[in-house]
């Protein structure tokens, strides 16, 4: 079992973490333009974190994680962003791992969790479909039991980095007669299984972050079912809660604000009282977001399940990220249209890339309009 980092004073943990990361994160990966680097591009960094035992900050220590408290996790997030560390492929760490830790069998935990930590298994998430995005319960991809196997047919879309993953956890419909939320199950699928096809989708930056995934009589062992048949909606909501707290982390806004600071220093914008006022407001909003994030993270660390109120975190974080990048693009001006990276005395600033990247998070993971509906119905009790 790994060291109990929570026993250290916060600033001592910050010093240790910062020192090790600064020494071990490859310089060529710092502050890279690409928001979602592929596993092969960050493999050495992923493996270094794995060997150190620092890959899964909030997993319990008995499963190979750091078991960080909410306060320590915030330090982890802050230093990661401050040092410009690249994002690693994190569906296994942030979604599949928590799903199995909370709902998997002991055999599933023993089989899959260690392989996430070693990088042997890189996961993606099979949720959205062409006609089931924010209204996820209307999904149609089916799984029919034949002997000791499920046979899957259907299509998923907007599956992040599916072309780089070798495993996918999939929401499937196992009972077409039941009410939408009651006929859904969760299956773990090896992406080398015959009948499974992946087609990348290019985005505005000409990068293929998202994919379509097609299932044509894909056979999956029954032992790959997570939880009970037709009870997958409860598990799906649990995973979405983890995804929303992940999307609600201050990391993106913090990173973008750091880029704004660099450009503002280069161009003397801090001498403008109006800009300074807007910057200070954004900084305070990020502090507020960090406090809210810490409260929800504490629920997970205590073994609890997140409630519907976690939707507020996703709304605040994604819209704050947009406001920071709006300010960044305004300061960059016309030059951002022609140069991917704006040179400053302390390194390049990727203003346009960040501005474009900030548009999508308010849509995926359940659009912010849907999140507001969830809050209205489930938290405020307003009629739907």
Asked if the model's pLDDT at residue 234 lies above 60, the reply is yes
Neighbours of 75 (CB within 10 A): 20
Whether 206 is catalytic is no
Are 141 and 152 within 8 A, CB to CB? yes
All residues at 6 or more sequence positions from 61 whose CB lies less than 8 Å from its CB, including other chains: 1, 2, 4, 67
- Of the pLDDT bands very low, low, confident and very high (cuts 50, 70, 90), residue 181 is confident
Interatomic CA distance for residues 383 and 371, integer angstroms: 15
What stretches of the chain adopt beta strand conformation (E)?
A: 123-126, 142-146, 149-160, 167-173, 184-190, 196-201, 210-221, 225-226
Enumerate domains of the chain plus CATH numbers: 5-88 (1.10.540.10), 122-230 (2.40.110.10), 248-379 (1.20.140.10)
d(CA 10, CA 362): 32
One-letter-per-residue 3-state SS of 57-104: CCCCHHHCCCCCCHHHHHHHHHHHHHCCCCCCCCHHHHHHHHHHHHHC
Query: Is the Cβ–Cβ distance between 325 and 358 less than 8 Å?
Result: yes
Please report, rounded to a whole number, the percentage of residues in the chain having pLDDT higher than 70: 93
Residue 301: per-residue pLDDT: 65
Q: Considering 243, 254, 261, 327, which one is annotated as catalytic?
A: 243
Q: Is the pLDDT of residue 303 over 70?
A: no
Mean pLDDT for the chain overall: 89
Tens-digit pLDDT profile for residues 31-90: 776 777 889 999 999 999 999 999 999 899 999 999 988 778 778 877 887 788 888 888
Query: What's the confidence (pLDDT) of residue 340?
Result: 64
Query: What mean pLDDT comes out for the span 287-304?
Result: 80
| The two three-digit tokens of residue 165, written as one number | 């993953």
């Amino acid at each position: 079992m790994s060291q109990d980092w929570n026993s250290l004073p916060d600033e001592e943990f910050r010093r240790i973490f910062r020192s090790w990361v600064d020494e071990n994160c490859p310089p060529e990966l710092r502050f890279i333009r690409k928001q979602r680097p592929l596993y092969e591009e960050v493999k050495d960094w992923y493996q270094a974190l794995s060997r150190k035992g620092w890959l899964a900050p909030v997993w319990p220590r008995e499963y190979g994680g750091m078991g960080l408290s909410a306060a320590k996790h915030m330090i982890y997030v802050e230093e990661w962003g401050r040092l410009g560390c690249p994002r690693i492929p994190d569906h296994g760490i942030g979604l599949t791992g928590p799903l199995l830790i909370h709902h998997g069998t002991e055999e599933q935990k023993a089989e899959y969790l260690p392989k996430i930590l070693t990088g042997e298994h890189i996961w993606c998430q099979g949720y959205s479909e062409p006609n089931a995005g924010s209204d996820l319960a209307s999904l149609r991809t089916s799984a029919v039991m034949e002997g000791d196997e499920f046979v899957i047919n259907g299509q998923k879309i907007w599956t992040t980095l599916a072309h780089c993953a070798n495993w996918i956890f999939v929401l499937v419909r196992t009972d077409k007669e039941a009410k939408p939320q009651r006929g859904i199950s969760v299956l773990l699928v090896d992406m080398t299984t015959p009948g499974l096809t992946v087609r990348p989708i290019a985005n505005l930056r000409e990068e293929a972050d998202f994919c379509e995934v097609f299932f044509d009589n894909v056979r999956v062992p029954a032992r790959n079912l997570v939880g009970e048949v037709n009870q997958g909606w409860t598990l799906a909501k649990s995973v979405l809660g983890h995804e929303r707290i992940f999307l609600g982390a201050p990391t993106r806004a913090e990173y973008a604000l750091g880029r704004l600071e660099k450009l503002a220093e280069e161009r003397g914008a801090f001498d403008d009282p109006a800009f300074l006022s807007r910057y200070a407001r954004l900084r305070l909003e990020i502090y507020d977001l960090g406090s809210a994030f810490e409260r929800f993270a504490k629920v997970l660390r205590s073994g609890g399940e997140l409630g519907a109120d976690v939707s507020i975190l996703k709304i605040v974080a994604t819209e704050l990220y947009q406001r920071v990048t709006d300010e960044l693009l305004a300061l960059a001006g016309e030059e951002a249209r022609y140069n991917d990276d704006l040179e400053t005395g302390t390194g390049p600033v990727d203003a346009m890339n960040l501005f474009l990247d900030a548009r999508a998070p308010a849509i995926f993971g359940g659009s912010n309009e849907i999140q507001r509906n969830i809050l209205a119905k489930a938290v405020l009790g307003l009629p739907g």
